[in-house]
Chain A
Amino acid sequence: MLVSQLEVRNVSKAFGSVVALRDVSLTAKAGEVHAVIGENGAGKSTLMNIICGNHSVSSGEIRVNGRTVRFGSPMEAQHAGIAIAPQEILLAPALSVAENVMLGRQLASGGVVSWKATRTEAIKHLQALDPDIDPDARAGDVTVAQQQLVQIARATATGARLLIFDEPTAALTLKESARLFDFIKRFRGEGGLILYISHRLGEILELSDRITVLRDGRFVTELDPARTSKDEMIQAMAGREVADLDLRHQIPAKITDEIVLKVEGLSRRDEFDNISFDLKRGEILAIGGLIGSGRSEMARCLFGDRPRDAGRVEVFGKVENFSAPADAIRAGLVYLPEERKHDGIFPQLSVAENIAMPNLGVFANWTGISWLKVVGAAEEYIRSIPIKANSPHQLISNLSGGNQQKAILSRWLMSHCRILILDEPTRGIDVNAKREIQKLLRELAQGGLSVVYISSELQEIIDVSDRVVLMHEGKVRGIVPTEGATQESLLAVAMS
């Protein structure tokens, strides 16, 4: 179905008490690439989920071709000609690439699937994006980049005329990205409509016709890519002066020559290979790279959560091979996982207990744990960070993502750790909490804490860290200082 115009009118969306979108409006026309930019937590993905039928609106309406629509499911949106290539990989890993492209829409006659016809149809859409992907390969076995392209092919195979791309290039090389851009330009030329979410501002300027900026769930402004600049875009997204965001200069580092963490040749089959880097005392060392580059796996291995195949690690000058997280924690090295809800918080326990969990030994004697002391200690952190909670006894699952993250961070601060490995610490939290955490980390580093900061947001890396290790496909591509770096220069190193 041809989508000639999409109108989002005063849409608001709340999940329980959390308001994700507040009175957002935008218009997009056929033959246009409309970019939507904003920091993490600005509401971009929520908006896209509503447009593609995954969520309902709390108030406001969506109009397609001038008519109000209310999608009860993504299937209904597909019938209206709208499809999404989501940010996370949502494939059936055990099925073939071709089957994933045609998932739910296998070609059949009389209820019986015709595999040959299905495969041929799938190949048609795959070729347009990447002729090198094997259609018969198991979807779980291909690279993350290829998985992303398979998802995109799946969206185009629905015959949609409005395609939504959510961070499509986060896992793609320059060559693959270029091919995707060609596809997008062709699609636009044929009268298609594209909604494009990305953090890569350079990309947006090159590709889009209009830019909508969201911040904290609200519409901020619309920019013209021909007339705007990266600085203007950053300022609109953050609501602050670009100079204000440059925490690295605001809170300068006090880096000594002491090497607190030395990694040499760390390898684990199929995940990462020959990783080497040094971390100095007081430094914030970022580990950047495309999604799927093996950074989290490497961090967990360092932490003792998984065994290594090869390599040598020195912590404070002492050779270590941690066999369990408890050993690393004892040596002063801690890890904050990527998935807060899944691996970070104890959802049924209170804020105080979540903060105190690994440190209970401090509060215990032969008469048992003194809860009074635990709550007292937790209150210290709630007050000083600060963490927004009604009381230390509040269930941690009732806190916002940002405050949950602060609580988990406090857990490690309470343990007097000396090396902090953070995996995407500001992902999925609101802008203000993000700044607070970033500032806190710079202050802690200034005070002598050493930080390894894994992030996929290159701008964040430039603003917050002192040096960055760039990884791609499991290998280190380069270690560069962030002073004077740009998103493009870092990407270039990562892909070299």
Chain B
Amino acid sequence: MIGRFEAIGIVAALLLLCVFLTLSVDTFATSYNMTVVIRQASFVGIIALCQTLVLLIGGIDLSVGAGAGLSAIFGALLLTSLGVHPYLVIPLTCMFGFALGTINGALVAYARLNPFIVTLASWEIFAGATLVITQGNPIRPLGPVFGWFGKGDIFGIPVPVLIFILLAIILAFVLNRTRFGRNIYAIGGNRPAAVLVGIPVKRIEMLVFGLSGMLAALAGILYASRLDSGQPSVGEGWLMPAITASIIGGVSLRGGQGTISGTVAGALLMAVLGNGIVLLNISGYWQRVIVGVVVLVAILIDLLRRKR
């Protein structure tokens, strides 16, 4: 229920990290750098929100990154080949992402296939499809009107950040104050009990995967807008930070536990970490090692938290 602020630990870690970086490197605490950080955080954050939803219901979605990429290409094609109006592209891309996610969801909920395996397979399929369609080449240009979504700002705050914040608020409301949201916690906490209590488990499972796909598509198309091209590499490397952000934020891998506020804090932490690595001139190659270590630490924390 609301009120359980388990994210206090991560917020503390986040503040510590920010203090450390501010003192170590004078380029950290500049408004320019902050903008970069939160803009980066918002892309990872939206994907982390997807993953949080799926983790809460007791599943996992390994295809979020690849789904974001494929959806981004779809959107880019709508824009360049079909000449669809830029304002329509985003909702249409989201619907495409929703459809992709629903396929995952149907296989998990109705065919009762293991979500790990299903989304592992769809990850490969989506990534492969992206390459097939683009033949490895970026789709460009996407135009200045469309570019505003990824590059523009309102009162100095980047648009992607505003979208991330809005999504976080909406999802937090849904999870805490709607039946749909509470049912997600119920299913993740004890699926057989949820069935016996009359919750339409299969329908909700499928919907959650659909939502995950939809949000991933949103992140993908926003990123493409920022790059001003439909890069086939969009979404690559987004999965691990998203899972890590969720786990650090208190989402349990077993399902049924976790909050949006926690995930937001986790996403910020991951973004600041990545930013710090660059600013401290640590080789980018080390980033993967560091992220991996942080994942391990996060899982251990999750284990200890559950034992208590």
Listed in ascending order, the chain A residues whose CB lies under 8 Å from chain B are 303, 305, 324-326, 328-330, 335, 337, 342-350, 352-353, 357-358, 360-361, 364, 367-369, 371, 393, 411
Q: Please tell me if B65 contacts chain A, counting CB pairs below 8 Å.
A: no
**Cross-chain contact B196 with A368 (CB below 8 angstroms):** no
Contact with A along B185-222 (1 / 0, CB 8 A): 11001101111111110000000000000000000000
Q: Which of B2, B193, B252 has the most CB of A within 10 A?
A: B193
Beyond A342-B192, A349-B189, is A360–B182 a contact (Cβ under 8 Å)? yes
**Cross-chain contact A335 with B196 (CB below 8 angstroms):** yes
**Cross-chain contact A326 with B199 (CB below 8 angstroms):** yes
List 18 extra interface pairs beyond A328-B198, A342-B192, CB under 8 A.
A325-B196, A325-B197, A329-B197, A330-B198, A343-B193, A344-B193, A344-B196, A345-B193, A348-B185, A348-B189, A352-B1, A357-B186, A357-B197, A357-B199, A358-B199, A360-B182, A364-B179, A369-B177
**Cross-chain contact B256 with A348 (CB below 8 angstroms):** yes
A342 to B189, CA, bound (A): 10
Could you pull out 8 A-B pairs where Cβ atoms are within 8 angstroms?
Answer: A324-B198, A325-B195, A342-B193, A348-B185, A348-B252, A348-B256, A364-B179, A367-B177
Q: Please tell me if B261 contacts chain A, counting CB pairs below 8 Å.
A: no
**Cross-chain contact A346 with B189 (CB below 8 angstroms):** yes
**Closest approach, in angstroms, between the C-beta of B172 and any C-beta of chain A?**
11
Note all chain A residues with C-beta closer than 8 A to B1. Answer: 349-350, 352-353, 371, 393
**Closest approach, in angstroms, between the C-beta of A338 and any C-beta of chain B?**
11
Beyond A343-B192, A346-B185, A346-B186, is A326–B200 a contact (Cβ under 8 Å)? yes
**Cross-chain contact B190 with A346 (CB below 8 angstroms):** yes
**Closest approach, in angstroms, between the C-beta of B77 and any C-beta of chain A?**
39
**Closest approach, in angstroms, between the C-beta of A360 and any C-beta of chain B?**
5
**Cross-chain contact A369 with B179 (CB below 8 angstroms):** yes
Note all chain A residues with C-beta closer than 8 A to B195. Answer: 305, 325
Complex interface residues of chain B between 18 and 69 (CB less than 8 A to chain A): none
**Closest approach, in angstroms, between the C-beta of B228 and any C-beta of chain A?**
39
- Which of B182, B196, B252 sits near A369, CB closer than 8 Å? B182
- Which of B178, B185, B196, B257 sits near A343, CB closer than 8 Å? B196
**Cross-chain contact B178 with A324 (CB below 8 angstroms):** no
Note all chain A residues with C-beta closer than 8 A to B193. Answer: 337, 342-346
Note all chain B residues with C-beta closer than 8 A to A411. Answer: 197
**Cross-chain contact B196 with A348 (CB below 8 angstroms):** no
**Cross-chain contact B192 with A353 (CB below 8 angstroms):** no
Interface size class of B (residues with CB under 8 A): 20 to 34
Complex interface residues of chain B between 158 and 197 (CB less than 8 A to chain A): 173, 176-179, 182, 185-186, 189-190, 192-197
Note all chain A residues with C-beta closer than 8 A to B178. Answer: 364, 368-369
Residue of B at shortest CB range from A344? B193
- Which of A349, A350, A364 sits near B186, CB closer than 8 Å? A349
**Cross-chain contact A368 with B173 (CB below 8 angstroms):** yes
A96 to B122, CA, bound (A): 39
**Closest approach, in angstroms, between the C-beta of B92 and any C-beta of chain A?**
28
6 nearest CB pairs, A to B: A368-B177, A326-B198, A343-B192, A346-B189, A329-B198, A358-B197
Note all chain B residues with C-beta closer than 8 A to A337. Answer: 192-193, 196
**Closest approach, in angstroms, between the C-beta of B256 and any C-beta of chain A?**
5
**Cross-chain contact B198 with A343 (CB below 8 angstroms):** no
**Closest approach, in angstroms, between the C-beta of B179 and any C-beta of chain A?**
5
Note all chain B residues with C-beta closer than 8 A to A353. Answer: 1, 182
Note all chain A residues with C-beta closer than 8 A to B192. Answer: 337, 342-343
Residue of A at shortest CB range from B174? A368
Q: Which of A335, A337, A348 has the most CB of B within 10 A?
A: A348
**Closest approach, in angstroms, between the C-beta of B88 and any C-beta of chain A?**
29
Residue of B at shortest CB range from A411? B197
**Closest approach, in angstroms, between the C-beta of A367 and any C-beta of chain B?**
8
**Cross-chain contact A324 with B200 (CB below 8 angstroms):** yes
A411 to B252, CA, bound (A): 26
**Cross-chain contact A346 with B198 (CB below 8 angstroms):** no
Residue of A at shortest CB range from B177? A368
A326 to B195, CA, bound (A): 8
**Closest approach, in angstroms, between the C-beta of A311 and any C-beta of chain B?**
21
Note all chain B residues with C-beta closer than 8 A to A325. Answer: 195-198
Complex interface residues of chain B between 243 and 257 (CB less than 8 A to chain A): 252, 256-257
**Cross-chain contact B179 with A346 (CB below 8 angstroms):** no
**Closest approach, in angstroms, between the C-beta of B194 and any C-beta of chain A?**
8
Note all chain A residues with C-beta closer than 8 A to B257. Answer: 348
**Closest approach, in angstroms, between the C-beta of A172 and any C-beta of chain B?**
29
Residue of B at shortest CB range from A349? B189
Contact with A along B128-163 (1 / 0, CB 8 A): 000000000000000000000000000000000000
A367 to B257, CA, bound (A): 23
**Closest approach, in angstroms, between the C-beta of A378 and any C-beta of chain B?**
11
A315 to B177, CA, bound (A): 34
**Closest approach, in angstroms, between the C-beta of A353 and any C-beta of chain B?**
6
- Which of A350, A352, A358, A364 sits near B198, CB closer than 8 Å? A358
Beyond A345-B193, A353-B1, A371-B1, is A360–B179 a contact (Cβ under 8 Å)? yes
Note all chain A residues with C-beta closer than 8 A to B199. Answer: 326, 357-358
Note all chain B residues with C-beta closer than 8 A to A305. Answer: 195-196
**Closest approach, in angstroms, between the C-beta of A49 and any C-beta of chain B?**
23
Note all chain B residues with C-beta closer than 8 A to A393. Answer: 1
A108 to B297, CA, bound (A): 45
Note all chain A residues with C-beta closer than 8 A to B256. Answer: 346-349
Note all chain B residues with C-beta closer than 8 A to A335. Answer: 196
Residue of B at shortest CB range from A304? B198
A330 to B197, CA, bound (A): 11
Note all chain B residues with C-beta closer than 8 A to A343. Answer: 190, 192-193, 196
Note all chain B residues with C-beta closer than 8 A to A326. Answer: 198-200
Note all chain B residues with C-beta closer than 8 A to A360. Answer: 179, 182
Note all chain A residues with C-beta closer than 8 A to B177. Answer: 364, 367-369, 371
**Closest approach, in angstroms, between the C-beta of A455 and any C-beta of chain B?**
19
- Which of A303, A328, A345 sits near B190, CB closer than 8 Å? A345
